[in-house]
Structure 1
């Protein structure tokens, strides 16, 4: 599984439409972890504290693989499952969606709700755009200032995504494709004569 590509979304996406007076707002975002997915769900709920429902669903390629959905107070099976089904049918991973509903006074029934929640997810995903992604891993590299230029140069030549934090030492938070990660570790160790402290994870 490590080297395979998978389908996810290119960035954040949104959708909005009305069904018989009820307003549906769809939000989608790419995430790497279940905790990032939960944070996005909380962020949307904070944006819409007065919404009737904020229905979440996500699929995350973690170890173990995580899938989650909730009806968030809607009738059982009418909201979370239809939202998650869209992600499953499109074979999307590392994606979180939240559908916000403002009730408009007319009951839509389970079928109407399921259609509306599915549509909100489809439109938010379409808005974001689907991409093929390679599995990445995160590595933290800590070095003295003397070695920081060398490390930065290697990361840039590898095309790695990274953030640098300058404190007592320099810490690079690196995101690198899984298949390139071992070579990167070897290059960093040899270039710094083993002085680079390399830790997996964030």
Structure 2
């Protein structure tokens, strides 16, 4: 079974103060490396007086593009912990920039790793997660006599109606998860004694709130 395609539900920012240092994690959904780089530059421009603007991003259906930067922090203490937080949450198409305003107290390598990891994880929790699901449109042509039973079936199966067109018959279009298309067509055919005309239409991506399994 394939892993669900997860991303953040909304762009967000979360701040932690650790030993007088301010760590601010800014999260954004992006669809390309160019968009990720633009967001990094935007955060850097907004925080010119910050000591560091460290970042990491994961882009692509299979996370083909993964980058991280310590931006002047000791090697491996910032970019990698940020990236690992994104990986642990199994996110796609997300960039995280952690801005640090130094408070005068050194944290040490371990302290920095924990700080960058924690602020990123807390930002992810604040943003929330959604699962992206590919769906197909099924166009179902039904007689007026069978229309109400069809609507009852769709409600029973919790299938979302996309559109309805009324003519000699009714064409009811519904969204079905792509991995359920064949099963749904077979079920409809059996339920309505092969009296429906069913064709597959355009595909779309739907996003549903995702709760991680503890």
Smaller-chain TM-score bracket: 0.5 to 0.7
Q: CA offsets, 1:95-120, max 9 Å, x none?
A: 11000000111111110000000111
Structure 2 Cα separation of the partners of residues 57 and 96 of structure 1: 6
| Gaps in structure 2 of 5+ consecutive residues | 136-161, 164-177, 179-199, 204-214
Secondary structure of the structure 1 residue equivalent to 2:56:
strand
- Measured at CA, do residues 135 and 4 of structure 1 come closer, stay the same or move farther in structure 2, by a change above 3 Å? farther
Structure 1 Cα separation of the partners of residues 120 and 3 of structure 2: 25
Equivalent residue number for residue 200 of structure 1: none
Equivalent residue number for residue 31 of structure 2: 32
The TM-score, its normalising length taken from structure 1, stands at 0.64
Structure 1 Cα separation of the partners of residues 27 and 63 of structure 2: 22
Q: By how many angstroms is 1:4 displaced?
A: 7.3
Structure 1 Cα separation of the partners of residues 62 and 89 of structure 2: 21
Structure 2 Cα separation of the partners of residues 13 and 124 of structure 1: 7
Q: By how many angstroms is 1:135 displaced?
A: 6.5
Structure 1 Cα separation of the partners of residues 77 and 105 of structure 2: 16
Q: Which has the higher strand share?
A: 2
Q: By how many angstroms is 1:43 displaced?
A: 1.1
Structure 1 Cα separation of the partners of residues 72 and 14 of structure 2: 21
Secondary structure of the structure 2 residue equivalent to 1:77:
coil
Q: Which moved more, 1:65-74 or 1:31-40?
A: 31-40
Equivalent residue number for residue 51 of structure 2: 52
Q: By how many angstroms is 1:39 displaced?
A: 1.1
Q: CA offsets, 1:30-83, max 9 Å, x none?
A: 111111111111111111011000011000016881001000000000000000
- Which structure's CA Rg is the greater one? 2
- Whether 1:127 aligns to 2:117 is no
Equivalent residue number for residue 18 of structure 2: 19
Equivalent residue number for residue 84 of structure 1: 83
Report matched runs for 1:166-185 at 5 Å.
183-184=201-202
Secondary structure of the structure 1 residue equivalent to 2:77:
coil
Structure 2 Cα separation of the partners of residues 20 and 127 of structure 1: 22
Structure 2 Cα separation of the partners of residues 22 and 79 of structure 1: 14
Equivalent residue number for residue 106 of structure 2: 107
Q: By how many angstroms is 1:89 displaced?
A: 1.0
Q: RMSD over aligned Cα, in angstroms?
A: 2.7
Aligned length, in residue pairs? 144
